[in-house]
Amino acid sequence: MRSPRRLTVRDRVVVVLMIGVPLLFVILLVWLPALASVALSFSRWEGFGGLSAIDWIGFENYKNITTIYPPFWPAIWHNLIWVGFLFLIPTPLGMFLAVLLDKEIRGSRFYQTAFYLPVILSLALTGFIWQLIYSRDQGLLNAVLGTQVDWYGDPNVNLWAVLVATAWKHTGYIMLIYLAGLKAVDPGLREAAKVDGASEPRAFFSVVFPVMRPINLIVLVITIIESLRAFDIVWIVNKGRNGLEVIAALVAQNIIGEASRIGFGSALATIMLLISSVYVVVHLRATTRGDDR
């Protein structure tokens, strides 16, 4: 039996660089900022005067957030609505489109591109497109309905208007993930279900859908994390105010806004990190159990 070939010095250097360089970037760009944010959440600091100006105040920021900071609980509620909306509307729609496109219908490549195009559009272009639709005076939607609704300015409707715009982007993303999962499903499973007399919907939900459990878990985590870090479109509309409060926008308001409360904003960011981590841990545990089987 031949002994395994020993790595040369050059091979070891290459392996160390391939592992070490990405790990270094992850530590510098992800872990250190995250840990620094957690540490600063226990402080009062406006970002001036250097580290010596930091005033360590314990859990006071968290107490103030939950008791005397009015936008916090509406932001939590809006993020929950965001999660529910994405699960109920664009996620099933994306899966439905993936099932249709998996049938290799005529022009499927064109439809894939058309549905996925909103995902790759720039934020500025997306905002401009929906501004043309939602504008109170010259918007397409008001022109069709014959109304004068301020879709972005009215706090009673602006959250739902933004959610529709978000669904426009999210649907294509989910569609592509499920389409990739469907391509990996063994065709023999569908043939066996067909031979057993199962209808197409029954075969999908009883055979194909359970097989795509890893894809379902990925979609679950992506949808929840996307909902928690909802920021871009609400910041463009009104900087996360007047009915569009979300946690990520509150973080930005306190760190880079007029208030410039680094410690307070870090506490908000830590709360968002903790909520996100719960779902990531659930995903990792579920994935690990699946691999053990």
What are the tens digits of pLDDT across the range 112-160? Answer: 888 888 888 877 788 788 888 998 888 889 999 888 888 988 889 999 9
**What is the pLDDT confidence band of residue 257, given thresholds at 50, 70 and 90?**
low
- β-pair partners for 56: 43
Residue 5's pLDDT is what? 66
- CA distance from start to end of the chain: 32
Query: 221: helix, coil or strand?
Result: helix
Looking at residues 74-93, what average pLDDT do you find? 93
238: pLDDT strictly greater than 90: no
In 10 A of CB 270, how many CB atoms? 20
The span from the CA of 166 to the CA of 243, in Å, is 16
- Residue 44 contacts residue 263 (beta carbons within 8 Å): yes
pTM: 0.84
Lookup: tokens for 137: 């005076």
Average the pLDDT over 71-83 and give the result. 93
Model confidence at 287, pLDDT cuts 50, 70, 90, reads: low
CA distance 206 to 169: 29
Task: Report how far apart, in Å, the C-alpha atoms of 109 and of each of 96, 105, 112, 118, 167 are.
Answer: 16, 9, 5, 15, 21
b/e per residue, 72-108, with b = 16+ CB within 10 A? bebbbebbeebbebbeebbbebbbebbbebbeeeeee
Describe the crossing of helices 213-228 and 72-88 by its angle, rounded to 10 degrees. 150
Q: Which helix (H) or strand (E) holds 55?
A: strand 55-56
